[in-house]
Chain A
Amino acid sequence: MTADAQSRDVAGYALRLGDDALVLSQRLCAWVTRAPTIEEDLAIASIALDLLGHARVLLGHTGERDGTGRTEDDLAYLRTERQFRNTLLVELPNGDFGTTVARQLVFSCYTLLLYTALARSAEPVLAAFAGRAAKEVEYHRMHAAQWTVRLGLGTAESHRRMQAGLDRVWPYTGELFEADESAERLDACGTAVAPARLRSAWELEVGAVLAEAGLTVPQPNWQATGGRSGLHTEAFGPLLAELQAVRRQYPDGSW
């Protein structure tokens, strides 16, 4: 592979991971002042801030490796829907707290496995990023697992809602592990982690939490796809409009 082609692959890889982090961060922020307790407000805000920090590093690296020199802000604020590469899972509306916890569980189990493996990348920035991000995501995973068990074994109503949340997000988990040619090329040279490699470990981890929580692993007969190629759900446009509103109303504004 030529150096140029590899740079493009790394840029695309960082962009996909960065968009996942950015969009989920934006979704989670909407919980602030609406979470069940004040501690939970802080927890969700902290997780959202961690994810925003991850997005800043990943999108900044995208602009460095793709040769365009775009900054993290350019990438976050000046792209349109079709140019975002996040999975549909992270853009789903929050739903109730059970749905949010379900998404946090499936996503943080996936990112913890991913970043732990990516910390051994041959690409120094990806390795350094992932080594640190894994430490942060460990807290996200534990937070989600504790809530899953608490809601699963709580009351009949909390159990019902937690299961409904899992049923809602499950068809969107397949996209996290979708085969991806450029990631596979990077995986072959020790630079990235092909998503499909993480699937069986993820199923074991999430399955163990659901077993402890007395919940059932959903078996949906359909799977969502499209986000990685820029085809998003109807809910994504309004999310992006809100995220970009200030920057678009006041181009180049500063404070």
Chain B
Amino acid sequence: MTAPPRLAAGQVRARAELVPDPELPMVTLADLGVLRAVRADADGVLEIVITPTFLGCPAMRVIEAELLAVLAAAGHPDGRVRQELAPAWSSDWISAEGRRKLAEHGIAPPGPANAPLPVRLGLAVPCPHCGSVATRPQSMFGATRCQTVLLCTACLETFAQMKGM
């Protein structure tokens, strides 16, 4: 068996960007802003830098394993994955493409991360099912740590929104 050719950092990054998030598989690590950098050190060893959405998020272990597999398949079995906590992940890092995909799958994208919390929770969030803005917060906490739950008073469906933070 021949070892795969060693791809350049840019090509590895293009592959890493496509890895789906284990909890929200409709979006990629690039869409979420979890993938921060792919760089080579002086010896040509590649390092992929990721920032967890939530501290101690159990999905990070799965993400690390998947990125190590990407590195190995790209000819970098010696590559590393490193978690960086600073700067802290912000929902503002979710790309426009990521927001579109979330909404398409029934999860409203987050509002602005920096407004005070009562303002964030008070903003009208369009229902991802029927588009109505006649929605109201139902619970600040949802099915995963990054989601909150709203109720649409037009179509009477509840839906999740990514927390703006």
Minimum distance in angstroms from B149 CB to a CB of chain A: 7
A128, B149: Cβ atoms under 8 Å? no
B138-159 interface mask toward A, CB cutoff 8 Å, 1 = contact, 0 = none?
Answer: 1111111100010000000000
Q: A109 interface residue, CB < 8 Å from B?
A: no
B88, A128: Cβ atoms under 8 Å? yes
Q: A47 interface residue, CB < 8 Å from B?
A: yes
Q: B86 interface residue, CB < 8 Å from A?
A: yes
A133, B139: Cβ atoms under 8 Å? no
A46, B142: Cβ atoms under 8 Å? yes
Q: What does DSSP make chain A's interface, helix, strand, loop or mixed?
A: helix
B142, A50: Cβ atoms under 8 Å? no
Q: A120 interface residue, CB < 8 Å from B?
A: no
B34-59 interface mask toward A, CB cutoff 8 Å, 1 = contact, 0 = none?
Answer: 00000000000000000000111100
A175-196 interface mask toward B, CB cutoff 8 Å, 1 = contact, 0 = none?
Answer: 0000000000000000000000
A41-75 interface mask toward B, CB cutoff 8 Å, 1 = contact, 0 = none?
Answer: 01101110110111111000000000000000000
Q: B165 interface residue, CB < 8 Å from A?
A: yes
Task: Note all chain B residues with C-beta closer than 8 A to A142.
Answer: 117-118, 121, 140
A125-150 interface mask toward B, CB cutoff 8 Å, 1 = contact, 0 = none?
Answer: 10111011101101100110000000
Question: With contacts defined as CB atoms under 8 Å apart, how many contacts are there between chain A and chain B in the complex?
Answer: 75
Partner among B55, B86, B118 whose Cβ is within 8 Å of the Cβ of A56: B55
A42, B141: Cβ atoms under 8 Å? yes
Q: Which of A54-111 contact B (CB under 8 A)?
A: 54-57
CA–CA, A132 to B113, complex, Å? Answer: 12
CA–CA, A142 to B118, complex, Å? Answer: 9
Task: Note all chain B residues with C-beta closer than 8 A to A242.
Answer: none
Partner among B85, B149, B165 whose Cβ is within 8 Å of the Cβ of A129: B85
Partner among A39, A46, A52, A128 whose Cβ is within 8 Å of the Cβ of B86: A128
B141, A138: Cβ atoms under 8 Å? no
A39, B141: Cβ atoms under 8 Å? yes
For residue A129, which residue of chain B has the nearest CB?
B85
Whether A49 touches B145, Cβ cut-off 8 Å, given contacts A39-B138, A133-B55, A136-B165, is yes
A46, B85: Cβ atoms under 8 Å? no
Q: A124 interface residue, CB < 8 Å from B?
A: yes
For residue B56, which residue of chain A has the nearest CB?
A53
B104-131 interface mask toward A, CB cutoff 8 Å, 1 = contact, 0 = none?
Answer: 0000000000000110010000000000
Q: Which of B57-92 contact A (CB under 8 A)?
A: 57, 84-89
- Subset of 21 A-B contacts with CB under 8 Å: A39-B141, A39-B149, A43-B140, A43-B141, A47-B141, A128-B86, A129-B55, A129-B85, A132-B85, A132-B88, A132-B89, A136-B54, A136-B55, A136-B145, A138-B165, A139-B140, A139-B141, A142-B117, A142-B118, A142-B140, A143-B140
